Structure 1
Amino acid sequence: MPTARESLLSAALRALDQRPWPAVRMVDVAASAGVSRQTLYNEFGSKDGLARALVRREADAYFHGVDQLLAERAGPGPAEQLVALAEWTVARARARPLLRALLTGCWGERLPAPRPAGRGAPFAAAPAQRRADAGPPAPADVAAAVRERSLAALERARSNGPAPPDEAAALAHRCELTVRLALSFVVAPDREGVGGLVRTALTPPPGPAPAPSANG
């Protein structure tokens, strides 16, 4: 059974699907979640606090999804894991405006403006809210976190131990390239999809043709 906090966050997300954030009322969120308005304020402190918690939950859900997908796709090899990650990221961002805003930094008028809690703001009673009040990660922070998670997952999947430094650097570059290409498709979608482009970018070019022998 979801906690009051989770019920309130789900209710706020439903309200956001129906109207822009400035028109979302705390009393309606509380009623939709089946709790009192006082419970809502106890959990989040204010509407700005609710907005920060909503965005924090979206970020956490995305990172959890990244970890889960990489673990599930551990078999096919690094290139296919990264292709799947890029395709999933683009599809999820298309379906979830909050995630799209997190990845791009483009919030718009319909979405909450997730600023960190100001100096001198009351100390949040709920531990989860204290974390949310620090503010959401910036797009560069999200990209870096996904790159590091991808790299860690690919290194764990290696059957022959840790990669030597030059190979580890190449793997980190592949992860970075995948994340950047996925973000470019979130900003500017293309009919062809991101998977083919990531697969091409990660495929090593064919080696040079062997040199002819001295005997012709």
Structure 2
Amino acid sequence: MPSARESLLIAAQSALAAQPWATVRMVEVAAAAGVSRQTLYNEFRTKEGLGAALVARQVDGFVTGAADAVTAARRSGGDPAVCCAAAAVWILCRAREEPLVRAALTGFWNSRLPLPEVPPAQVVERLAAGILDALSGEGGAELRRACEAGLRLALSYVVVPPTEPDAPARVAAVVSALLSGSSVRGGLPAPDAGPPTRRP
């Protein structure tokens, strides 16, 4: 059985799915959760506090889900490239489905949504850290850089959502190629090599 706090957050999420946050009423959230209004205020103090907690809950689940996608890919025998591609697909699909997560990642908020307490950069940092932790230290600095590049590629699709239904598969293919290094590094200088030398 969920705690009073969890029940309130579930009720708030349901209310937000049906109406803009500005019109969500605390008394209705409490009633839907089956608790008193005083319990609601004891837990969150204000409507802003409830909104911030709701955003945090969604972001926490999103970050955990991305790491779980990596873990599942590893258990299936996937290498780091396949694992990070799986995380990219998770990011793209979940952000498409969850407005709160999409807003937290992009910083694009509207009056339908409660405001977060953390900027998008911190959310992205948590996301990258969770993915790399799920890889259990595989690779080194090069993998970390490639993983970050793949993450930013996936996030670019969140900022400007694609209309093609095969977009997640295409993103996964590019991220996998990026991390495998076989098809994206040919002809490019190494990270510390400086600009190419101009021939006379």
TM-score bracket for this pair, using the shorter chain length:
0.7 to 0.9
2:84 corresponds to = 82
1:204 corresponds to = 181
Amino acid corresponding to residue 199 of structure 1 in structure 2:
S
Report SS of the residue matched to 1:73.
helix
After TM superposition, list the pairs within 5 Å mapping 1:14-25 onto structure 2: 14-25=14-25
Q: CA deviation at 1:196?
A: 2.5
The structure with more radius of gyration: 1
1:98 corresponds to = 100
Distance (whole Å) between structure 2 residues aligned to residue 55 and residue 151 of structure 1: 23
1:124 corresponds to = none
Q: CA deviation at 1:29?
A: 0.4
Q: CA deviation at 1:70?
A: 1.6
Alignment match of 1:113 (pick from 100, 112, 115): 115
Distance (whole Å) between structure 2 residues aligned to residue 102 and residue 68 of structure 1: 20
1:174 corresponds to = 146
Q: CA deviation at 1:109?
A: 1.2
Contact kept, 8 Å, 2:81 with 2:177, in 1: the verdict is: no
Cα deviation digits, residues 187-216 of structure 1 (max 9, x gap): 1123241222323333424669xxxxxxxx
Amino acid corresponding to residue 100 of structure 2 in structure 1:
L
Report SS of the residue matched to 1:13.
helix
Q: CA deviation at 1:19?
A: 0.4
After TM superposition, list the pairs within 5 Å mapping 1:86-165 onto structure 2: 86-114=88-116, 135=117, 137-156=118-137, 158=138, 163=139
Task: Give the aligned length.
Answer: 178
Q: CA deviation at 1:22?
A: 0.4
Report SS of the residue matched to 2:40.
helix
1:195 corresponds to = 172
Report SS of the residue matched to 2:181.
coil
Give RMSD over aligned pairs: 1.7
Q: CA deviation at 1:182?
A: 1.0
Cα deviation digits, residues 30-76 of structure 1 (max 9, x gap): 11111111110010001011011101111111122122222111121
Unaligned runs of 5+ in 1: 115-134, 209-216
Amino acid corresponding to residue 131 of structure 2 in structure 1:
S
Percent sequence identity is 48
Unaligned runs of 5+ in 2: 188-200
Amino acid corresponding to residue 105 of structure 1 in structure 2:
G
Cα deviation digits, residues 90-129 of structure 1 (max 9, x gap): 1001111100011101111100123xxxxxxxxxxxxxxx
Q: CA deviation at 1:148?
A: 2.0
Distance (whole Å) between structure 2 residues aligned to residue 20 and residue 171 of structure 1: 41
Q: CA deviation at 1:171?
A: 0.5
Amino acid corresponding to residue 102 of structure 1 in structure 2:
A
Amino acid corresponding to residue 153 of structure 1 in structure 2:
A
After TM superposition, list the pairs within 5 Å mapping 1:52-71 onto structure 2: 52-71=52-71
Amino acid corresponding to residue 177 of structure 1 in structure 2:
A
Q: CA deviation at 1:143?
A: 1.4
Structure 1 length as normaliser, TM-score? 0.77
